[in-house]
């Protein structure tokens, strides 16, 4: 039986309230009725897991909330968290046809949250485990990729065991996503819901490569799914990088989300967040949410070149954050404790390359520096697996099947992509399960049917 992971009560993240609280029934039904129920809807194509969006929204409109949840979870078993953490602005909602009329797109993510919340709350289960096949699959890491994969493998009737280094499941859904989107307890609640299908065992505190070897897994299991995500925050190779007050972004967020009684150190009024991606913006917004006075995003290029989403950065600015552009960290100044971030100016030269301007050093006084300059890759762990290829630390797979160069190994999620969204990890886990099932039955994974796509109702 599934043992429930306990979280400390006094988590700093609980100070945040949801940016998009659960819709009321009235709000949901009004919004659902606004949906045009498009044919061959573009939103479906913009969802990595191809949820039949018009269908689930129609079900909300007709008062069939449970049926709506079913339509969502059929395609995406983590539909509850995705409804809250997905960057819908650049996914499903970005292609809503209302955009063509310059009108507000349907609030698809919020409707998805509304539809699935009740199923989780009431523990309404829609899927049953398949007839036991006697075949066993090991999954490495209990993040979204593995959870999605394991659930579908159970529907096919295969036995699943997940090995998780930490003491809790959910991966970055539990430890990483911004608390105003999803909090750790919600992620754990979802994991419990997913596991209700039965037979998804999780071995906590078991780091593959240390506590159990790949050879042992290979001996005992018929297939292995790699869903380890990414590793620790990259560090900055400059003087002063080890001073007190220099943090890794993911480390900071994880402590904020799951550590008992974690608080920002006293006297932190000015924070520099180094980076230009979504993790950097997340930290910036969280710092503002914790009432840090001056929160600066320090980025070596200009505002327009940031890889983080525009809508997130716009939100950060509204909340009072500011950007320091064309600034390349050169040194961290301080005496035991951070006092300033020394940067050099950059500019784009005639060849379009970024170059540092000589003699342009300047200091940004601050009490804390958070580095959001990427996470390490964990591929190394698998470098001895025969046939399995790595590309800059990412596991290489066949795009259609998620199979690696070693027929027994499949992979998905951030460890393959180098860092995308939860929903991508879910889709890749789902596809991998289908391929694993085909492989275990002696069929060609490339020929496996895509059974989860919305039923084509017509051949218009």
Partner 1 sequence: MPDLSVDFAGIKSPNPFWLASAPPTNSGEQVMRAFDAGWGGAVWKTLGQPIVNVSSRFGSVDYGDRRMIGFNNIELITDRPLEDNFREIEEVKRHYPEHAVIVSLMVETKEEWKDIIQRSIDAGADGLELNFGCPHGMCERGMGSAVGQEPKVCEEITRWAMEYSDVPVIVKLTPNVTDITVPGRAATRGGADALSLINTVKSIIGVNLDEGVIEPKVKNKSSNGGYCGQAVRPIALHMTNQLAQDRQVDIPISGIGGVETWRDALEFIHLGAGTVQVCTAVMHHGYRIVRDMIDGTERFMREKGFETIDEMVGRALPSYDDWGNLDLNHEIIAKIDEDLCIGCQKCVAACHDGAHQCIHVEEGTRVPYIDEAECIGCNLCMYVCPVPDCIKMVEVDNGKDSMTWNEYTAAKERGEDVEHPGKSTHQTHF
Ligand X SMILES: Cc1cc2nc3c(=O)[nH]c(=O)nc-3n(C[C@H](O)[C@H](O)[C@H](O)COP(=O)(O)OP(=O)(O)OC[C@H]3O[C@@H](n4cnc5c(N)ncnc54)[C@H](O)[C@@H]3O)c2cc1C
- Angstrom distance (rounded) from CA 396 to CA 412: 9
Q: Determine, following the binding rule CB under 6 A, whether residue 48 of this chain makes contact with ligand X.
A: no
- Element (H or E) spanning 279, and its range? helix 278-289
Tell me which stretch binds partner 1 (CB under 8 A): 108-116, 143-151, 226-234, 450-458.
450-458
Distance spanning both ends of the chain, measured CA to CA: 47
Q: How many residues bind partner 1 (CB under 8 A)?
A: 20
Q: In Å, what is the CA distance from 226 to each residue of 145, 220, 406?
A: 9, 16, 12
Q: Which is nearer to partner 1, 74 or 282 (CB)?
A: 74
Q: Which is nearer to partner 1, 69 or 440 (CB)?
A: 69
- Work out which of 2, 18, 34, 222 binds partner 1, going by CB under 8 A: 34
Cβ neighbours of residue 263 closer than 8 Å, sequence gap 6 or more: 12
3-state SS, residue 75: helix
CB of 125 to partner 1, least distance (A): 13
Q: Which of residues 280-339 bind ligand X (CB under 6 A)?
A: 282
User: x-or-dash pattern for ligand X, window 164-183, by CB under 6 A?
Assistant: xxx----xxx--xxx--x--
Q: Determine, following the binding rule CB under 6 A, whether residue 394 of this chain makes contact with ligand X.
A: no
Q: Which of residues 360-379 bind ligand X (CB under 6 A)?
A: 378
3-state SS, residue 142: coil
Q: Which tokens sit at 286? A: 């969280």
Q: Determine, following the binding rule CB under 8 A, whether residue 55 of this chain makes contact with partner 1.
A: yes
Q: Which is nearer to ligand X, 236 or 425 (CB)?
A: 425
Neighbours of 367 (CB within 10 A): 22
Q: Determine, following the binding rule CB under 6 A, whether residue 240 of this chain makes contact with ligand X.
A: no
Please spell the DSSP secondary structure of 331-400, one letter per residue.
EEEEESEEEEEEEEEEEE-TTS-EEEPTT--EEEE-SEEEE-S-B---GGGGTTSTT--EETTEEP--TT
Q: What is the DSSP letter of 131?
A: P
Tell me which stretch binds ligand X (CB under 6 A): 10-18, 58-66, 318-326, 417-425.
417-425
Q: Determine, following the binding rule CB under 6 A, whether residue 340 of this chain makes contact with ligand X.
A: no
Q: Are 47 and 53 in contact (CB under 8 A)?
A: yes
Q: Which is nearer to ligand X, 140 or 330 (CB)?
A: 140
Q: Return residues touching ligand X (CB under 6 A).
A: 85-86, 140-146, 163-166, 171-173, 176-178, 181, 207-209, 227-230, 250, 253, 279, 282, 378, 381, 413-415, 420-423, 425
Q: Return residues touching partner 1 (CB under 8 A).
A: 24-26, 33-34, 37, 39, 55, 58-59, 62-64, 66-67, 70, 455, 457-459
């Amino acid at each position: 039986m599934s043992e429930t992971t306990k979280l400390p009560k006094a988590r700093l993240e609980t100070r945040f309230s949801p940016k998009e609280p659960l819709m009321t029934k009235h709000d949901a039904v009004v919004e659902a009725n606004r949906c045009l129920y498009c044919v061959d809807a573009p939103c479906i194509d913009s969802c990595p897991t191809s949820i039949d969006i018009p269908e689930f929204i129609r079900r909300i409109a007709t008062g069939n909330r449970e049926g709506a949840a079913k339509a969502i979870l059929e395609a995406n078993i983590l539909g509850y968290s995705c409804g809250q953490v997905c960057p819908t602005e650049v996914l499903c909602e970005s292609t809503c046809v209302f955009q063509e009329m310059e009108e507000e797109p349907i609030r698809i993510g919020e409707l998805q949250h509304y539809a699935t919340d009740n199923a989780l709350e009431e523990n309404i289960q829609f899927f049953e485990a398949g007839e036991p096949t006697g075949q066993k699959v090991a999954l490495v890491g209990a993040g979204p990729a593995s959870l999605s994969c394991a659930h579908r493998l159970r529907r096919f009737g295969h036995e699943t065991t997940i090995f998780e280094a930490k003491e809790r499941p959910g991966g970055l859904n539990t430890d990483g996503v911004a608390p105003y989107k999803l909090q750790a307890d919600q992620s754990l609640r979802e994991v419990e819901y997913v596991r209700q299908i039965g037979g998804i065992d999780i071995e906590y505190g078991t780091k593959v490569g240390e506590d159990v070897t790949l050879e042992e897994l290979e001996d005992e299991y018929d297939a292995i799914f790699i869903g380890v995500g990414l590793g620790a925050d990259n560090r900055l190779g400059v003087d002063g990088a080890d001073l007190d007050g220099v943090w890794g972004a993911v480390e900071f967020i994880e402590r904020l989300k799951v550590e008992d009684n974690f608080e920002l150190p006293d006297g932190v009024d000015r924070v520099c967040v180094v980076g230009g991606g979504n993790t950097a913006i997340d930290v910036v917004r969280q710092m503002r949410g914790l009432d840090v006075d001056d929160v600066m995003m320090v980025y070596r290029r200009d505002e327009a070149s940031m890889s983080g989403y525009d809508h997130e950065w716009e939100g950060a600015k509204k909340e009072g954050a500011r950007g320091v552009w064309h600034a390349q960290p050169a040194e961290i100044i301080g005496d035991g404790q951070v006092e300033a971030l020394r940067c050099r100016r950059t500019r784009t030269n005639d060849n379009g390359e970024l170059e540092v301007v000589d003699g342009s050093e300047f200091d940004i006084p601050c009490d804390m520096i958070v580095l959001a300059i990427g996470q390490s890759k964990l591929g190394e762990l698998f470098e001895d697996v025969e046939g399995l290829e790595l590309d800059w630390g990412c596991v290489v797979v066949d795009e259609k099947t998620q199979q690696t160069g070693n027929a027994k190994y499949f992979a998905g999620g951030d460890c393959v992509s180098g860092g995308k969204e939860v929903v991508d990890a879910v889709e890749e886990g789902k596809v991998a399960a289908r391929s694993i099932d085909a492989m275990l039955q002696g069929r060609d994974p490339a020929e496996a049917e895509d059974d989860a796509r919305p039923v084509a109702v017509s051949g218009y």
